[in-house]
Amino acid sequence: MSESNGERAERGAFGGAREGAPARTPLWGAFHIHTSFSDGGVTLRDTVDAALAAGLDFVVITDHNTLRAREAEGYDQGLLVLADVELTPSPFHNHLLALGLAGDARLQCRGSQERLLSAVEAAGATAWVPHPRGFLNPWLALWNRPWRTWDRRVCGIELATFLVEWAESVRPWNLHRRLQRPLALSFEPDPRTLARWDWLNEQPRPAPAVGFIGIDAHRRSLFGGRIATPSYELLFRTHNLLAWCDPPTGDCARDAAALRAALIAGRFVNVFCSPDEERGLVSFDAHGGALSLRAPERDETELRILRSGQVAARAGGHRLDLAAAPAGIYRAEIRRNGRLWALTNPLAIPAGAGRDAPPAAPAEHGRLDATLEPAEA
């Protein structure tokens, strides 16, 4: 579904103009990407070419323990390239994405989770936790410990990670099928991860915690190079962030700063597309005590607005409004043919804006293990 500039200008918190402010512009991109500067197996040039072929507006490179890609940050044939870093200490193997980190990342990547968070905060960057539940696949020699230090310094949490979900499903007897049909799995966030996200947003925080889908793109060769993991172009077509940014100016530094600001503020929607699907715009806005969700006009679509992890309103079609919403933290989901298609970031309704009510308890189905309580410092 395409929109005119005038239609875009009428959108609110995610989609466009606040009163007296310029309209925001929708930008499609991909996040959590590795290149041959670390262990990606694909050059930065090939990564950019794949993103251009997939019709993206931006990519966020997050190589392990290096900011070498920062030299190429800026526009490349209209694609805005951001270069940030995935801090990967050894031997702990707890990873942490840092957005806006300056200097040599190798000086910042050692120590415990607590030290990583403190180092990122001291550097003026923001901390985003990738694959928070960890993963293990001995067949592919992949493993990572879960993240357990949750406090206000965590700005973002990865709700679903393509490489992790795909790799955890691979076994010797189904490897060929997984390579031939890498998107056959339903890549939905684990209920425990969603519960963690909702729990984070029930805590006192300066701003809601951001939730994002990551690709963790590596393009690794397996079994002596005879086969390889799914291509970057395929993943760029299917796992997207729809960011609502201030209108691009053409100035690389200014536009990169504006895009980072939009991501940190959660002004983006996570979208799971089919490879050949036409992208469509999504907005989730708060106006006083009212919420509005807008989606492309497509068949078999269900819209949901959730408060504290529980459904507060739902409807079929392409629009859903919730008037006089009680105070709380809200997010929205869009499902197509029963599968998750889009997942927004949270919006806060402050006390007094709608029908005041105490926050609802987090969904019981999400409280599946003891790790949902904050870790000891």
Domain ranges of the chain: 5-272
Q: What is the mean pLDDT of the chain?
A: 79
Give whichever of 75-84, 209-218, 266-275 has the largest mean pLDDT. Answer: 75-84
Quick check: 294 pLDDT over 70?
Answer: yes
Give residue 94's pLDDT: 75
CATH code, 5-272: 3.20.20.140
What one-letter code names the amino acid at 190? D
Which comes out higher in pLDDT, residue 122 or 357? Answer: 122
Quick check: 97 pLDDT over 90?
Answer: yes
Confidence of residue 216 (pLDDT cuts 50, 70, 90): confident
* Average pLDDT value for residue range 363-374: 28
* Average pLDDT value for residue range 101-111: 64
Give whichever of 127-136, 207-216, 226-235 has the largest mean pLDDT. Answer: 207-216
What pLDDT, in 10s, does the model give residues 160-202?
877 666 666 665 666 666 565 555 555 688 899 999 999 999 9
Give residue 357's pLDDT: 43
CA angle 352, 355, 357 (to 5 degrees): 90
Give whichever of 246-250, 270-274, 360-364 has the largest mean pLDDT. Answer: 246-250
By three-state DSSP, how is residue 180 classified?
A: helix
Give residue 137's pLDDT: 54
Quick check: 142 pLDDT over 80?
Answer: no
Give residue 269's pLDDT: 97
Pairing of strands 142-144, 135-137: antiparallel
Residues 6+ apart with CB under 8 A from 286: 12, 13, 330, 347, 348, 349
Give residue 293's pLDDT: 97
Q: Which residues pair with 343 in a beta bridge?
A: 270, 333
What pLDDT, in 10s, does the model give residues 308-364?
999 999 999 999 999 988 999 999 999 998 889 999 999 999 886 655 444 443 333
Give residue 363's pLDDT: 35
CB 94 within 8 A of CB 54: no
d(CA 34, CA 147): 20
Least confident interval from 32-41, 101-110, 249-258? 101-110
Give residue 41's pLDDT: 78
Q: Which H helix or E strand runs over 41?
A: none
Give residue 168's pLDDT: 63
Report the percent of the chain where pLDDT is more than 90: 49
Is residue 213 packed enough to be buried (19+ CB in 10 Å), middle (13-18) or exposed (0-12)?
buried
Give residue 310's pLDDT: 94
Give residue 364's pLDDT: 30
